Structure 1
Amino acid sequence: MIPRLKSLNCLAHDGELVVSLDPKVRVRVADPDGRVLALLRLLLDGTRDVPALADALRGQGFAATPPDVQGVVAQLDGLGWLEDAAAPSTFDDHDRERYASNLFWFDAFTTLDVPREEPQRRLRDAHVLVLGAGGLGSAVLMNLAGLGVGALTVVDQDLVELRNFARQFTYTEAEVGQPKALRVADWLRAFDQSLRVEAERRRVESTQDVADLLRRVRPDVVVSAIDEPDEVDRWVNAACVAAGVPFVRGGLAYTQGLYWAVDPGVSACRECLERHRERLADGIDREAVQWPRVLQQQRVNRAIGPVAQVLGGFVALEALRFLTADLPGMPRPVSAGRYQLVDLAGDCSTRADPWPADPACPVCATAPARRTAAAA
């Protein structure tokens, strides 16, 4: 292991350092004799192991032993300031250049034990199933391709229409009347020839449809970008929970963007939400459940291009969190068992609205983690 200092800012004055890796966070370090700054400078080029760092510090007149330096290195690593310059590379020059921004992003979270290429490798080995290739689905697919997700399967029943072009940018007017699933697959392959892309033109009509897809595709994560028929969320939920596959769902409620997710056996699921709503029907939502509907609002798609792109980014980012969640230091999913709501007609502020897990939920009981625990 060869510790190397990440690119950061450091101010020095009167025996004190102010160090900032993230502009939001400043760390003050007492350095009365200058040895901490000397060590930071020695760490910059990533050419010395701990004994060599101790030797170099002694050469500058500082008393330092390898155990002393190892302790400071551990503290700096705990702050997220170090990476391992000797970590084996899993990508060639082409891929390191192609995914340069991704690697710099991962650098914000990685440590000596988790090199920046490891999250990218996880993505290249991952398979995501995307249900729907409309405004949200196509935006998610564009983002997943840019992230370098290695395998994508897209399912959609619709044909390209002229009205799509206000918010769907993977299609052209020459493709009007052609299947979206096939055309977006062509776009993905052209964008990155190394992607493994499968496309199916079909309609999701039952839990069994989704379960069959999961058995055949074996994805690591599912993104659901379809909202018809009304039962589709419960179908996707039931199939994914039983298969132990996390899924992320995004959409638009009038002008409010939203996304939520289910982590089977860990978070509350969609069925938990439906059962929670049924309990609320006895209280504040009684009118919505019991009163007759005398006017029906027309269902239209208000997702303009910027809205679809913003939501697609949020959903793809949450898929990324699921795919890399088991790596130390990487961000965890933020929407499992909770709505993340975005005020797109206002100041674009966000808020979270969680729902409770139901201990008696029959769908949660089918999650592999729950079945294993029950059998133990």
Structure 2
Amino acid sequence: MALNLNMKPMVKKIVFVRVKEQGLIRVGELFPDRAVEIEDENGFVLQLINLMDGTRTIKVILINLHGSGIRISESELSELISEFDALGFLDNSESTAYNSFSSMELERYKANLNYFSYFSNLENGPWEMQRRLNHARITVIGVGTLGSGVLFNLAGLGVGKVRIVDFDVVEWSNLNRQLLFKEEDIGRRKIDAARDFIHRFHSKLKLECISGEIRSTEDAEKAIADSDLVILCADQPHFLVERWVNQACVKKGIPFIGGGVNVVEGQLYTVVPGITGCLDCNYLLHSRQDDDYLQFIQSYLSSGFRMPSTAIAANYMLLTGMVCGELARLIAGTGPLQSEGKVVSIHFETLQTAIKMDFSSPVPDCPTCGQGEGLDPIFQFFRALEQGDISICKGGDFLEKS
């Protein structure tokens, strides 16, 4: 590959270089999937590595090598640097993105940049990845247990604009796991407490707070307008809010991530409109594979039973980390998502992960992302529930309205 001779190659700070023995060096030893051993009888390779510190262009490196008596052509040096790049060892400190950060920002995001450099190369550096996050617009629906942890992570990642949607207030029972809040916040709206936290923690993050509840697809469309990604952290009303957000995101072509906890198991999934199936594809597949699925949903809703919170902060931190890790992969472009078109679970006691459902391929007769009319019983039930044609009785059954 012909390289721009004005770029400034830099051996990544995370790359360990060791002289294993005379005439042999080992590069990238801390990464078993990348470590290579290079014969270096005359010390040329080690000299080149030392010259690639991000302060010299390739032209200057060539001049320095010639000055030390090493005869190498421009094309040979370019090819050698390209090989180092292909191994994942180099960044380009002359990138436009690098020079767009202030010294304070480079310091603030230092660990982020070191992490992203694991995935970077001369053409796509860690600064480009961080800048994508800085320019991202994320909507978080629900600032409860999952949502408050997500907001905390988004601030650390350096996401530039965040919109939060919530209607609830801080309660004492929140404080075991919703670590965004403090005792003085009891009784305050969560969005107000969240605004205060963000102002103290990351004053440059632009936080938009919307007080309200998602009660329809139209509400969801308004909430997610102009977003690059949506994170669904609300679960009320059960089953319907997920469908409303799913329909809005599919219509607008906006990816979204959802998740939640059920005692010792956490789950997350990602819908990417136009690439994966959607949440209604998942409902359709699930109902067709399990004859009891619709009856379970009906029984759960009609029983009046509501699972009390069983979450501890440690478990939710695991799930929040998985959700925000997927967000970082999607926005920064570091690699494939593990939950793209899949429901992925983690068992908190065993730390085992599993794929619960796979809807990575859109279902043609899905009523939301396909051409289906929604005639399957599960969608007839959801539609009747949403339109108020049935209501939940205390006794345990559904009452059809005349």
| Fold shared by both chains (TM-score > 0.5) | yes
CA RMSD of aligned residues (A): 2.2
- The 3-state SS of whatever aligns with 1:364 is coil
Cα offsets for 1:226-262 (capped at 9, x unmatched): 1111211111111101101111112112311111110
Counterpart residue number, 2:17: 10
What is the TM-score when the length of structure 2 is the normalising length? 0.82
Counterpart residue number, 1:351: 354
Q: 1:305 aligns with which of 310, 313, 323?
A: 313
- Note the C-alpha offset of 1:154: 0.7
What is the rounded CA distance, in whole Å, between the counterparts of 2:249 and 2:51 in structure 1?
50
Cα offsets for 1:6-44 (capped at 9, x unmatched): 13222333543321164333223344444322322222x
Letter paired with 1:360: D
Q: 1:237 aligns with which of 243, 246, 250?
A: 246
- The 3-state SS of whatever aligns with 1:111 is coil
What is the rounded CA distance, in whole Å, between the counterparts of 1:28 and 1:95 in structure 2?
36
Q: 28-37 vs 113-122, which deviates more? A: 28-37
- Note the C-alpha offset of 1:333: 2.2
What is the rounded CA distance, in whole Å, between the counterparts of 1:5 and 1:104 in structure 2?
12
| Mapping of residues 166-181 of structure 1, within 5 Å | 166-181=176-191
Q: 263-272 vs 55-64, which deviates more? A: 55-64
Is the 1:221–1:322 contact (alpha carbons within 8 Å) kept by the matching residues of 2?
Answer: no
- Note the C-alpha offset of 1:354: 4.5
Is the 2:286–2:293 contact (alpha carbons within 8 Å) kept by the matching residues of 1?
Answer: no
Counterpart residue number, 1:67: 75
Letter paired with 1:63: R
Is the 2:287–2:293 contact (alpha carbons within 8 Å) kept by the matching residues of 1?
Answer: no
| Mapping of residues 235-274 of structure 1, within 5 Å | 235-274=244-283
Is the 2:28–2:89 contact (alpha carbons within 8 Å) kept by the matching residues of 1?
Answer: no
Give runs of ≥4 in structure 1 deviating > 6 Å: none
What is the rounded CA distance, in whole Å, between the counterparts of 2:101 and 2:29 in structure 1?
25
Counterpart residue number, 2:94: 86
- Note the C-alpha offset of 1:315: 1.2
Is the 2:145–2:316 contact (alpha carbons within 8 Å) kept by the matching residues of 1?
Answer: yes
Is 1:99 matched with 2:109?
A: yes
Letter paired with 1:312: T
Is the 1:166–1:305 contact (alpha carbons within 8 Å) kept by the matching residues of 2?
Answer: yes
Counterpart residue number, 1:369: none
Q: 2:343 aligns with which of 320, 339, 343?
A: 339
Q: 1:117 aligns with which of 111, 117, 127?
A: 127
- Note the C-alpha offset of 1:125: 1.4
What is the rounded CA distance, in whole Å, between the counterparts of 1:203 and 1:115 in structure 2?
40
- Note the C-alpha offset of 1:91: 1.5
Counterpart residue number, 1:128: 138
Q: 59-68 vs 119-128, which deviates more? A: 59-68
Describe the shift of the 1:179–1:333 C-alpha distance in structure 2 as closer, same or farther (beyond 3 A).
same
- The 3-state SS of whatever aligns with 1:286 is coil
Q: Which runs of 5+ in 1 are unaligned?
A: 367-376
Letter paired with 1:27: V
What is the rounded CA distance, in whole Å, between the counterparts of 2:357 and 2:203 in structure 1?
40
- Note the C-alpha offset of 1:300: 1.4
Q: 220-229 vs 108-117, which deviates more? A: 108-117
What is the rounded CA distance, in whole Å, between the counterparts of 2:369 and 2:318 in structure 1?
31
Is the 1:103–1:117 contact (alpha carbons within 8 Å) kept by the matching residues of 2?
Answer: yes
- The 3-state SS of whatever aligns with 1:97 is helix
Letter paired with 2:339: S
- Note the C-alpha offset of 1:176: 1.7
Letter paired with 2:17: C
- Note the C-alpha offset of 1:214: 2.4
Letter paired with 1:239: A
- Note the C-alpha offset of 1:172: 2.3
**What is the total number of aligned residue pairs between the two structures?**
354
Counterpart residue number, 1:319: 327
| Mapping of residues 361-372 of structure 1, within 5 Å | 361-365=366-370
Is 1:77 matched with 2:80?
A: no
What is the rounded CA distance, in whole Å, between the counterparts of 1:347 and 1:290 in structure 2?
30
What is the rounded CA distance, in whole Å, between the counterparts of 2:274 and 2:90 in structure 1?
35
Letter paired with 1:355: D
What is the TM-score when the length of structure 1 is the normalising length? 0.87
- Note the C-alpha offset of 1:67: 0.3
Q: Which runs of 5+ in 2 are unaligned?
A: 1-6, 372-402
